[in-house]
Amino acid sequence: MLLFGGFCVVIIFLALGDLVSTKTGGVLPSVFVISLLFLIGYWSGTLPVDIVEKVGLGAPLAYFAMSLMVVWMGSMVSVRRLLAEWRSIVIATTGLAGMVAFLLIFGRMMIDWETVVVATPPLTGGPVAASMMAQAAAERGFSSLAVLATVIYIFQGFVGCPLAAWCLRMEGRRLLDIRQTDPELLRVLPDENEEKETLPLFAKLQNSFINTAPFTRIAVTSAVALAAEGTSALMKTALEHTLPVLSAYTPHPLVLCFLFGCLATHVGILDRRPMARTGAFGFLVIVITAYVMGFLSGATPEMVLSSIPALVVTIGVGTTGLVCFSAAAGRFFGSSVPMAVALSLTALFGFPPNFLLVDEAARHLSSSFDEYDFLVRQMLPQMLIGGFVTVMIASILVAELFVRILG
């Protein structure tokens, strides 16, 4: 009874986030509202800090859900579209460069040097960067800065999510306007009329039994995720034995899940959006969202209060630099400014919020499934690639550099 009651509380919080987001037209993203509700619950003592784990929505179920979801996302992106997204990689990297530059130049004028060094990598995204800097600060006797690294990682999404949601709404309106007023222009937008190159063997398998029923779709999607996980583990082992210094940069399993999903769909092993066709999509979103909210339990009021000055300066200055540089890069490479800024802002929240924000923006702006599908296919690949570049790759490189700078 108590276990199911806790599950219902989690679901009600998620539903309230959706409700507020709908009533405000997406101005207040559901992820932002849900985060506030969980934070209030943790701080007031109403929610147990381990409620997500108690109701069974934590690890390892959440990691299984994320792997399946990322394979599903990869299935939406053609190989041609993936190669065409080199601009997203450059824009996301430029945005991070702006964040780092602003903090080193302007942030240093407001807070001390050690604080800037410890606070910058967590802001570039990812739990790995935050844990690296927290450990480095603790080992060097900066215990308060170790706490700051954790607090920044937890709270940066409160700034990033609303900004990205606003940018995605602007981009969605722009795309729908182009689609309605100048359809010819859509021909230059990649992935609009894509043909899947299914290999003969897989075409026969698809027509016989693969991708025709819910369990087979889930089984095939799981197999693709397993292949990605295994490849990542093999690459890490190989690097540890040959080039140990590079083992920390082994591609994250979720990055490979995305790539393998893209390739598996390209050759015909998967069909488009396999999880959506199984009816399991909604439950995966519940598991992933609840899992992310569990991280908020690590932030106590005392931690936040002691870090407020540095927290405000770091997030404010760093985000300003990211927005300025990514907007300039977007202009230079022919991308819209809202999309360029949104994909760079993924550094502040990563996956799965980047997917949730795109899904939410598309739902609020579309009047039919055709419009929803169009918006998701146009915006989601850029947001996912931006998140992978910033959170899973660049942030680790920045952390490695700043650990050395800290001494």
Instruction: Domain of residue 107: give its range.
Output: 69-183+275-282+292-406
pLDDT digits (tens, 9 = 90+) for 183-240: 666 545 554 444 445 554 555 555 555 556 778 888 888 999 999 999 988 988 888 8
pLDDT of residue 340: 93
The pTM assigned to this predicted structure is: 0.73
Domain count, the chain: 1
In a domain, 8, yes or no: no
In a domain, 228, yes or no: no
Q: Is 148 helix (H, G, I), strand (E, B) or coil?
A: helix
In a domain, 357, yes or no: yes
In a domain, 219, yes or no: no
Question: What average pLDDT does the structure give for the chain?
Answer: 82
Q: Give, rounded to a whole angstrom, the gap between the first and last alpha carbons of the chain.
A: 53
Tokens 């999880």 belong to 275
pLDDT of residue 59: 78
| % of the chain at pLDDT higher than 70 | 88
Query: CA-based Rg of the chain, rounded to a whole angstrom?
Result: 21
- DSSP per-residue letters across 270-282: S-SSTTGGGT-HH
Q: How far apart are CA 117 and CA 108, in angstroms?
A: 9
In a domain, 202, yes or no: no
In a domain, 238, yes or no: no
- Whose CA is closest to 17, among 43, 38, 44? 38
In a domain, 367, yes or no: yes
> How many residues in the chain?
407
Q: How far apart are CA 150 and CA 298, in angstroms?
A: 9
Question: What does each C-alpha distance from 228 to 75, 127, 239, 387 come to in angstroms?
Answer: 14, 21, 17, 18
CA dihedral 395, 401, 403, 405 (to 10 degrees): -140
Tokens encoding 53: 């784990």
pLDDT digits (tens, 9 = 90+) for 78-137: 777 777 778 888 999 999 999 999 999 999 999 888 889 988 988 887 666 777 787 788
In a domain, 177, yes or no: yes
Q: Is 293 helix (H, G, I), strand (E, B) or coil?
A: helix
Q: How far apart are CA 221 and CA 225, in angstroms?
A: 6
